Chain A
Amino acid sequence: MSKRQHISAVVNGDPVEFLSAPGTTLLDALRDELGLTGSKEGCGSGDCGACSVILDGRLVCSCLVLAVEAEGRRVETIEGLADGGTLHPLQQKFLEHAALQCGFCTPGILVAAKALLDANPDPTESEARYWLAGNLCRCTGYDKIIRAVMDAAAELRQVRV
């Protein structure tokens, strides 16, 4: 078996080091080596988005990234979304709008929604739907998710003003 490699990266703003076999995905490393189980595996093939993280500012599926590729890079996960004990407006709006049922897809959707609002603070409903098309939710029919994202966007725009 291939030897594990030493990886240094920045996860949610903090430096981390871990060992990883070359074939291990970033998702598995986050979950198994770093104990960050908020990112979920729903498919392992980039089709459901439950493992969404932001890698050097780009939204990606962590199941389609090798952990060794994270060497020297910045990773943001759901565990870094809240500001300490204060929920991010997206998290708060998801709660207020009842935008989650089982909650399994929720971390990935929140990370993807954050990437959306970072890139486009004022998305249309259609833009939000297409941006989030890579995040499957089987419980909600997406209605309340989209409402929560739009509401959070509006609130964040207020804060910026």
Chain B
Amino acid sequence: MSDVLERPESAIRVAAPLDDGHLKVVGTRPIRPDGAEKVTGKALYGADLAMPGMLVGKIKRSPHAHARIVSIDTRKARALAGVKAIVTAADFPDLASEEYEAGESASNLRDLSLNVMARHKALYDGHAVAAVAATSSDIADEALALIVVEYEALPHVIDVEAAMADGAPVLHAHLFTEGLAARPDKPSNIAKRNELTRGDLAAGFAGAEVIIEGRYTTAAVHQGYIEPHACVANFGADGQCQVWSSSQGQFMIRTYCAKVLDLEASDIRVTPAEIGGGFGGKTTVYLEPVALALSRQCGAPVKMVMTRDEVFRATGPTSGAVIEVKLGAMADGTIVAADVVLKYQAGAFPGSPVGAGSMTALACYDVPNFSIVGYDVVTNTPKVAAYRAPGAPISAFGVESAVDDLALKLGMDPIALREKNAVRDGTKASYGPTFRNIGYVETLQAIREHPHYSAPLGPNQGRGLAVGFWFNVGGESTAAVNIGEDGSAVVISGNPDIGGSRASMAMMAAEVLGLPVEKVRPIVADTASIGFSMLTGGSRTTFATGMAVTQAAQKIVEDLKRRAALLMDVSVDQVDYVNGVAVCLDASKGKADLTIAELAAKAAQTGGPIGAQVSLNAQGAGPGFGVHLCDVEVDPETGHVTVLRYTAAQDVGKAIHPAYVEGQIQGGVAQGVGWALNEEYVFDRTGHMENAGFLDYRVPVASDLPMIDAIMVEVANPRHPFGAKGVGEVPIVPPLAAVANAVRGAIGKRMTDLPLSPPKIRAAVDAG
């Protein structure tokens, strides 16, 4: 066995604990309750459901990156035996432009609808233009080929700066740049300009002793979940609809289907399938409204499953971008001015994550004078979807590369430089609020003290450090807890379990109820069986839905005390509830303890079934900080980069299930390393994606990565009952720059354009 495996798997550093010595379940590592189903192949994902009489639905997609749809002739396809339904945009209501909050961020419903099915114009290679339902996959394929679409090809634009330039092909004649002092007189691909400023930028730079400038680019990259989008939909003769689909939010699917098809939400029941990865990419609809429209036309259930090619060509990558950074600092390392310009591809419709990219760009730094300007730019590429800490890895790549150069120029230790400028409790964040209970400096400290930080490096090796920030969110959640007649519990929530949240829900309920976790069964319910919850995203589930679960369990504890008091014939204030047992505080009364099982068995005598439901809008999600350290070795002859060692420390609040927190950190690092080294959308001259498959898109494989040491720094979030902060998104923020900074160390040159593919590195080495 290698020495790597002998290293301790993880470490938890308790930096600022809650008083949690009494915890029995939270903080342990039980086996996840949905685990056995998933290791035996029984768990049902989006494509695994079959219904009687089910048809196969498929989508016809534009081969053009930008084209006017002149006509669509479906007659031949309709005449084919076995074809049961065909829809085009004509079968969907032509919605008005309206912003609506349901997914990861606000969406324009008209744009959403037009992305689901193109009307008048196809805006990217792969844009849906028609769909069929047929009795077999082969007939559906044949029918697609028989649909005749006449296009008038238009000039297209993919590069973000080319799309911003005067004279660029304009995607939307109605799109006028928002956020300018005056309304522009002509349409533009720049959907929006946003700006964050503080202090006096010019004065800041004027007083600076050192200036660092850089221009950085990132390529569009895909979330790369292994499960393609899939659903089954049935539109009943009475208008009641059933949707079974894999997504990050069954309520999001319900809302968007209702809006896109102009249906009542209560007529749509969405059952969440197991989800085979999302990372933000399953926070919107692509197939579900189409499947419903097809089913409405033919009266049979319709199953739709994307191919991998469709996933790449037609679902959300995140933005390719240009990041310009200028830093001014004093000789002691104090950063006195920062000027950041961000240009993000939005894809076919407005809505890149440049806003979040702007807000996070300088969030780790206390800078007196700064300007951050962001541009949201439409391009002839698939509409971007959320991708893990949307926007933040991109701006962090630029800023952390520049800070690394600043440290080099000043001859300062990279951690010392960041500590000198670190945000702390009480610092006003660059995006507005004042930080409280953050664990950033503790996380820097954790890396400084880790043996990795002082380990020797060999020839052609380099070490890179980078930091990252993500807000984390709370939001609306509903959870119910019901106690069975034997004292066991069921926890019902409305958030798809994308990476182990059933486990954390069960653990929090078990902790409060004083039950062993095995006696608490969590389920993820359909939209008709539990109240509304926002989708699984923004690292919110353990925080917000966990808060609802905890409060529901606390309500039950209060109820159990009341019931015990009734049975003991004492007043409620004389009853305590400890470790699953109600006890009478007045020992002189000689009352026997009552376990939760005994109380449950006698529920009929004390008011009936025991259960509680809590709906809330959780506030106070603690922001998270990550500090990553990466060692690489570069083969100077081939430009190949090997990641030798990776250590990631993160302020996690309180790790409810530490193994799954580590897993989030390790997974985020792996995605970030892929983003840094190899992943990118490659388009040919016609705007066709050339690498729409796992073969040439090149996500990291097992042999590409070392073990990833995850260090959980616990600085508790007092607004969560157990101190939790969101953990899922922070870890993808630092790796892009951590890798690039390590490559800088190995070859002695700054690489500014992602991915850091071998041809670029070899060329940089050759340039000397």
Direct contact of A and B (CB under 8 A): yes
Write the residues of chain A forming the contact surface with B, with a CB cutoff of 8 angstroms: 1, 21, 31-32, 36-45, 47-48, 50, 77-79, 81-82, 87, 91, 94-98, 100-107, 110, 124-126, 128-130, 132-147, 150
Complex formed: what's the CA distance from A101 to B500 in Å?
6
Query: In the complex, are the beta carbons of B666 and A103 less than 8 A apart?
Result: no
Query: In the complex, are the beta carbons of A137 and B1 less than 8 A apart?
Result: no
Query: In the complex, are the beta carbons of B705 and A142 less than 8 A apart?
Result: yes
Write the residues of chain B forming the contact surface with A, with a CB cutoff of 8 angstroms: 1-2, 4-5, 9, 29, 31-32, 34-36, 38-45, 47-48, 50, 138, 223-228, 274-279, 305, 307-308, 498-500, 657, 659-660, 662-664, 666-671, 693-695, 699, 701-705, 707-708
Query: In the complex, are the beta carbons of A129 and B308 less than 8 A apart?
Result: no
Q: Which of B44, B48, B695, B707 contacts A143 (CB 8 A)?
A: B707
Query: In the complex, are the beta carbons of B708 and A103 less than 8 A apart?
Result: no
Q: Which of A78, A102, A124, A129 contacts B227 (CB 8 A)?
A: A102
Which residue among A21, A87, A97, A141 has the maximum number of chain B CB atoms within 10 Å of its CB? Answer: A141
Query: In the complex, are the beta carbons of A106 and B45 less than 8 A apart?
Result: no
Residues of A within 8 A of B703 (CB): 126, 129-130, 132-133
**Complex: chain B residue closest to A108, CB-CB:** B226
Query: In the complex, are the beta carbons of B226 and A42 less than 8 A apart?
Result: yes
Query: In the complex, are the beta carbons of A78 and B307 less than 8 A apart?
Result: no
Q: Which of B657, B667, B694 contacts A48 (CB 8 A)?
A: B694
Query: In the complex, are the beta carbons of A42 and B499 less than 8 A apart?
Result: no
Complex formed: what's the CA distance from A134 to B31 in Å?
27
Residues of A within 8 A of B34 (CB): 103
Residues of B within 8 A of A47 (CB): 308, 693-695
Query: In the complex, are the beta carbons of A45 and B47 less than 8 A apart?
Result: no
Query: In the complex, are the beta carbons of B41 and A101 less than 8 A apart?
Result: no
**CB-CB under 8 A for A91 and B39, given A40-B227, A139-B499, A150-B5:** yes
Q: How many A-B residue pairs have CB under 8 A?
A: 194
Residues of B within 8 A of A146 (CB): 5, 702, 707
**CB-CB under 8 A for A42 and B701, given A94-B39, A95-B35, A144-B659:** no
Query: In the complex, are the beta carbons of A150 and B669 less than 8 A apart?
Result: no
Complex formed: what's the CA distance from A36 to B42 in Å?
9
Query: In the complex, are the beta carbons of A79 and B31 less than 8 A apart?
Result: no
Query: In the complex, are the beta carbons of A44 and B41 less than 8 A apart?
Result: no
**CB-CB under 8 A for A136 and B699, given A38-B41, A105-B226, A125-B1:** yes
Query: In the complex, are the beta carbons of B31 and A78 less than 8 A apart?
Result: no
**Complex: chain A residue closest to B668, CB-CB:** A141
Q: Which of A32, A45, A144 contacts B695 (CB 8 A)?
A: A45
Residues of A within 8 A of B36 (CB): 87, 91, 95
Query: In the complex, are the beta carbons of B699 and A143 less than 8 A apart?
Result: no
Complex formed: what's the CA distance from A44 to B206 in Å?
58
A-B contact pairs, 27 of them (CB 8 A): A21-B138, A37-B44, A38-B41, A40-B276, A42-B694, A44-B307, A47-B308, A48-B308, A48-B694, A78-B41, A91-B36, A95-B32, A97-B659, A101-B498, A101-B499, A102-B274, A103-B38, A103-B39, A126-B703, A129-B703, A130-B702, A130-B703, A133-B701, A140-B666, A140-B670, A143-B708, A146-B702
> What's the nearest-Cβ distance from chain A to residue B128, in Å?
19
Complex formed: what's the CA distance from A42 to B9 in Å?
30
**CB-CB under 8 A for A100 and B39, given A138-B226, A144-B659, A150-B1:** yes
> What's the nearest-Cβ distance from chain B to residue A131, in Å?
8
Complex formed: what's the CA distance from A18 to B383 in Å?
42
**CB-CB under 8 A for A141 and B666, given A47-B694, A95-B31, A100-B39:** yes
Query: In the complex, are the beta carbons of A43 and B40 less than 8 A apart?
Result: no
**Complex: chain A residue closest to B646, CB-CB:** A141
Nearest 5 CB-CB pairs, A to B?
A38-B41, A104-B276, A103-B38, A141-B670, A141-B666
